[in-house]
Structure 1
């Protein structure tokens, strides 16, 4: 039976991937730093194994008998050679046959972001891979930016007037599962976007219409960096976020592709549907 390891298993995309994989005929395991605390998030039905990118002692047991790996970069880890590569080396040594990597839109052109370096390293290792190059996650708005929207009615991020082709993580997870369990996706890269591109001014207006309170967009780079640092985020993580939002500010995040629709045989979820489904997070 196919055995799949899902890293970053308590994250937005990963939890949805795990949920969908449970309904398929495969053996799925969640790679987590603390299996006991993860059970409270994931539930008792999901098998878990201790795994930490920065602790090589966890690699052998985590990758044992694994056929396929769903790879997600922990946001706080930006040094690919020191913090990600050792785990990928261990995966190859253990016989992992296929990696589906959660990358970002434009990673093949933006060599500064860690995702680009990870893609290149996987290619160098020679493991068959599928790169899911995703646009900005809608669900970042109910996690990273939740408090700004909820308490201050402010959408604070330095994307300027650029448009973004937002994608719902529920769509990403559905694509990920297909690429993990079906043949024919190895050595492929998919650019996953929603079906429309919006400015953050337009997104703020959508929030306003659904939440019944005014939400305003603030594109200040300085305030964004100060806010992120004051919330305790490491500077490397903040700089990666700035790099990602800069692609939007420069007009590089608004591309709309047909990959999501073709892989799912339906239209991508809209940001209006997302805000409606998740509105309890900001009220």
Structure 2
């Protein structure tokens, strides 16, 4: 039986991956977590203590693992120092296949940490699957939940379009990659690219209040986010994402979700209807 270790198991994609694998009979799953007891209560599966920056956790975490579902912790941007040692330990322990949650465009932008991880993995000779995901729809229901509740969405994306993808679709592709041993790179997007004016229009259609899109300058956005959250790394990532959209670099649409899952990717209106309760 293929034994899969899932990192980022309580995250946006990871917990859906755990759910999808747990329901199969040919694959066993263990969730890797810095807080394994809490993860076990939440995920209802086997858990193991694991921390990318703590080598003492590597041996037990990777023992008997065939496939690794890899999510880079957002706080770890120094790949060679903070991520590679764990991956090297996984290789040494006998892991044969790595399914890596990357970002769309990583193959064209060597500056993002995901590109450096892809490059390192490609040099190992392992079987690899790179899931290059577009901007998650779930960011609307998590990061931007409160302001949408208040009737506005203020991001510096201008009139740029984004090919939002449902994290549930990304997880479903990951599960299929694990089950079928799929390798290669997949650019995962939704069925269309929409601008943020359209996002707010769709939110307004479903919710019991209107949502207005405002497009602040990047400087006003940075200042407002800093007043709300002093996490500079997180703010920097958000600014980069929305600048990419503003520049028209986030609107690529692919058919990779459909080709793997034999069904169309979830559209934004369906996602908003499915998750309506988080904004009400």
Answering whether residue 22 of structure 2 is matched by residue 22 of structure 1, we say: yes
RMSD after superposition: 1.4
Mapped partners of 1:248, 1:142: distance in 2: 19
Q: Which residue of 2 aligns with 1:75?
A: 74
Contact 1:159 1:200 in 2 (8 A): yes
Q: 2:215 aligns with which of 200, 213, 219?
A: 219
- Give the TM-score taking structure 2 as reference length: 0.94
Residue of 194, 197, 210 corresponding to 1:198: 194
Please tell me whether the aligned partners of residues 78 and 237 of structure 1 are also in contact (alpha carbons under 8 angstroms): no
Q: Deviations over 1:78-128 (max 9, x none)?
A: 221222111111111111101000111111112222111211121133322
SS of corresponding position for 1:189 = strand
Where does residue 123 of structure 2 map in the other structure? 124
**1:77–1:237 CA contact under 8 A, matched in 2:** no
Question: Which residue pairs with 1:55 in the alignment?
Answer: 54
What does 1:99-110 correspond to in 2, within 5 Å? 99-110=98-109
Cα distance change on mapping 1:76 and 1:232 into 2, 3 Å? farther
Partner of 1:189: 185
- 2:221 and 2:32 mapped to 1: Cα distance? 32
Aligned match of 2:3:
3
Count of aligned positions: 278
1:135-154 mapped onto 2 (5 Å cutoff)? 135-150=134-149, 152-154=150-152
Q: 2:249: which partner in 1?
A: 252
Instruction: Decide whether aligned partners of structure 1 residues 213 and 239 sit closer, same or farther in structure 2, where only a CA change above 3 A counts.
Output: same
Deviation for aligned residue 1:56: 1.5
Q: Find the partner of 1:274 among 252, 271, 276.
A: 271
Runs of 5+ consecutive residues of structure 2 not aligned to the other structure: none
**TM-score of the superposed pair, with normalisation by structure 1:** 0.94
Aligned counterparts of 1:279 and 1:223: Cα–Cα separation in 2: 29
Number of the residue aligned with 2:203: 207
**Could you tell me which of 143, 146, 153 is aligned with 1:155?**
153
Deviation at 1:59, TM superposition (A): 1.1
Q: What is the Cα deviation at residue 142 of structure 1?
A: 0.9
In the alignment, the residues of structure 1 paired with residue 215 and residue 121 of structure 2 have an alpha-carbon distance, to the nearest angstrom, of: 35
CA-CA distance at 1:224 after TM superposition: 2.7
* TM-superposition CA deviations, 1:59-91 (whole Å, max 9, x none): 111111100000011122222122211111111
